[in-house]
Amino acid sequence: MLKEFVLLELKKTQKVVDAICAYFGMALSRWGFKGVFNLTSISTDNAVMLNSAFMPPSIILCTINAKYIHASLGLRYLLANMSRHGSEQLSRRTSLMEFTLSRQTKDMAKELLAALGVQQTHSTQVIGFGVYIWNVTQTTELVRLLKALRPGLKVVLGGPEVSHECDDQEIVRLADHVITGWGDVSFPKLCKALIHGPKPLMKIIQGEQPALDQIELPYQHYTDDDLAHRVLYVEASRGCPFKCEFCLSSLDKTAWAFELEPFLHEISALYKRGARNFKFVDRTFNLKIDASIQILQFFLDRLAENPSETLFVHFEVIPDHLPDRLKQLIAQFPAGVLQFEVGIQSFNEDVQKLISRRQDNDQTVANLKWLLTSSNAHLHTDLIFGLPGETLESFAEGFDRLLAIGPQEIQLGILKRLRGTPLARHTPNFAMVYDLDPPYVVRQTNVLQTKTLERFTRLAKFWDLVANSGRFKKTLPLILEHRAPSCSSFESFMQFSDALWSRFGKSFGLSPEELVDAVFDHLTHTCGFDEKRVRDLLLVDYLASGARGRPICLAKARLPRRGYDPKQQQVELSPHSALARRERQDRHGQDHVKVINQFDVKAI
């Protein structure tokens, strides 16, 4: 009866369908339709497929990214697994919608409900949200509004922020179901139960962790627009064998690797489609050297095939594990291709022991020096301020030690207490006080006062603007120069940071010209450097930055009209592509936090 009914309804609209087929012929070919569309030859399955293709989705996968450049890997995993662990029909009725933090809540709600269409009697509509430390506040308001506008809507939550300590969370109270842990299998199964029955009895559902060969890879769900304008997150493994207590990955028992051949096949398909920007979200890329070598060789082969092509690949590496076999391949990459994120976090051995972090500091230093002298890799290194037992003085020592090595970037993060991490066990002994609201930043310890932590927060922002931006390569050494025997580079920059705060009263919204003038005044008036020397160095920096204004201190300089002259040789800020530069500038928009790939992409 179903077949006859569907075919009859389709025949009634023969002309309309014919017109649709003419317009969407290429799309229909994906479903197996060839040549002229003949209704009488449609199978029942294809007829149902066609019928569902012109209906609104029943399920929407949604998250709020920090910025457009971030594309959710986790949502694409869920979309890829809707068929395998749900049903073909569910897969066809599922769509993906991503927003950014800049969007208004009412506008996001309006778009989501419009995409779902009017809810029919006895039908079920589902929205699954990926919830993170950076978007939980906005997502809570969005869920609240959606439930008010459409009470019958089923809201399912997943992600690190709702996988632990969820009893006291407002967003959990508002939702219908929460999947804690992995969602690749559990979310499709839950949707199937919600739509087709039997209805699930539990609100909080422990996510099922399958073998990785039971998970469909998601990379075909990156669109051409994603490839052209966004960072592509990929993963060759999940989990982490290390137990650093500030990180959610410490809850993993080990690391699990995807089968390499199908993974590289998918990466190859992305490359053939034009992808040139890959960010690996593996917590420990160089844990298993054989796999690391095959992945690096894959990209070397692509470079050999297309030596003029732009390519950018980002990995997070263990700092003290760089065997010679891996070095041999790393050394073959040209400038601008490899970026390594290297988590140092602290050089203080007592702090490392407290937080269960195993790190050979001497080997770490040796590996960093090798990478800087014998490879073209761009090094983005991390330090965390506020760890239990870390004083301002010991952090300054670690900063100076890392600065002397000379990585291109030092990201200064401040400790956050992620829900579920073992870090909480140190709260009583070290008088740790954290913000109650996301991102749960540390506000006080037994050796760090609140004012010191606030002062460091400003310093970290100014360090990004002045040092990590690459806009002051020539003048930064003067800012860091020791002006007293007991003064360190960290203290010198702290003094500069204090001066900026005193001058502007803010650490955001500063123009390049304002920063140039502030640097000039600090170096000449406060530090006593020769004005001509400082002005000449700032002129080189300013021209290299490509800024288009006219700082006061450079008013008499021969600046090109409207800023940088493209005919003049530019001091290169970065060898990477524009998209890669944007990724480096925005990577902390998703918050400087390591999270597990549970319901949505694990990212910084």
pLDDT at 478 over 80: yes
* Model confidence band, residue 124 (pLDDT cutoffs 50, 70, 90): very high
pLDDT, position 22: 39
Does residue 383 sit in helix, strand or coil? strand
Q: What was the pLDDT predicted at 253?
A: 83
- For residue 55, the model assigns a pLDDT of 79
* Alpha-carbon gap, residue 564 to 589, rounded angstroms: 28
Q: Of 16-30, 392-406, 536-550, where does mean pLDDT reach its minimum? A: 16-30
580: confidence class by pLDDT, cuts 50, 70, 90: low
Whether the per-residue pLDDT at 85 is higher than 90: the answer is: yes
* pLDDT over 50 (residue 63): yes
pTM metric for this prediction: 0.85
Query: In DSSP terms, which residues pair with 407 in a beta bridge?
Result: none
The set of residues, in sequence order, having a beta carbon less than 8 Å from that of 152 and lying 6+ positions away, is: 119, 125
Best CA proximity match to 299, nearest among 316, 286, 311, 285: 311
Confidence band, pLDDT 50/70/90 cuts, at residue 120: confident
Nearest of 341, 312, 317, 313 to residue 327 by alpha carbon = 317
Residue 11's pLDDT is what?
42
Number of H helices, E strands in the chain: 23, 16
Kindly report which listed range (6-15, 521-530, 556-565) carries the lowest average pLDDT score: 6-15
Mean pLDDT of 3-13: 42
**How high is the mean pLDDT of the chain?**
87
* pLDDT given for residue 53 in this prediction: 52
Distance CA 274, CA 267 (A): 11
Domain ranges across the chain: 55-213, 222-468, 471-573
Question: In this prediction, what percent of the chain has a pLDDT beyond 70?
Answer: 83
H or E stretch covering 583:
helix 578-586
| Sign of the Cα pseudo-torsion (517, 523, 524, 529, in order) | negative
Non-local (6+) Cβ contacts of 201 within 8 A are none
CATH superfamily, domain at 222-468: tm_1862 like domain (3.80.30.20)
pLDDT digits 0-9 by tens, 425-456:
999 999 999 999 999 999 999 999 999 999 99
Confidence label for 596 from pLDDT (cuts 50, 70 and 90): very low
Give the residue-averaged pLDDT of 274-294: 95
DSSP assignment, residue 1?
A: -
Neighbours of 306 (CB within 10 A): 12
Rounded to the nearest angstrom, the gap between the alpha carbon of residue 274 and the centroid of all alpha carbons in its chain is: 21
Amino acid at site 419: R
C-alpha dist (Å) from residue 9 to 3, 16, 31, 39: 10, 12, 20, 11
Q: Per-residue pLDDT tens for 194-249?
A: 999 999 999 999 999 999 999 999 999 999 999 999 999 999 999 999 999 999 99
Q: Which helix (DSSP H) or strand (DSSP E) does residue 443 occupy?
A: strand 442-444
User: Lowest-pLDDT range, 100-109, 286-295, 403-412, 478-487?
Assistant: 478-487
Residue 560: pLDDT band by 50, 70, 90 thresholds?
confident
Fold of 55-213: Rossmann fold (3.40.50)
pLDDT tens for 307-354 read: 999 999 999 999 999 999 999 999 999 999 999 999 999 999 999 999
Is there a contact between 472 and 541 (Cβ–Cβ < 8 Å)?
yes
- Percent pLDDT > 90 in the chain is 79
User: What's the rounded Cα separation, in Å, for the pair 257 and 235?
Assistant: 9
pLDDT at 405 over 60: yes
pLDDT at 593 over 70: no
Do 55-213 and 222-468 agree at the fold level?
A: no
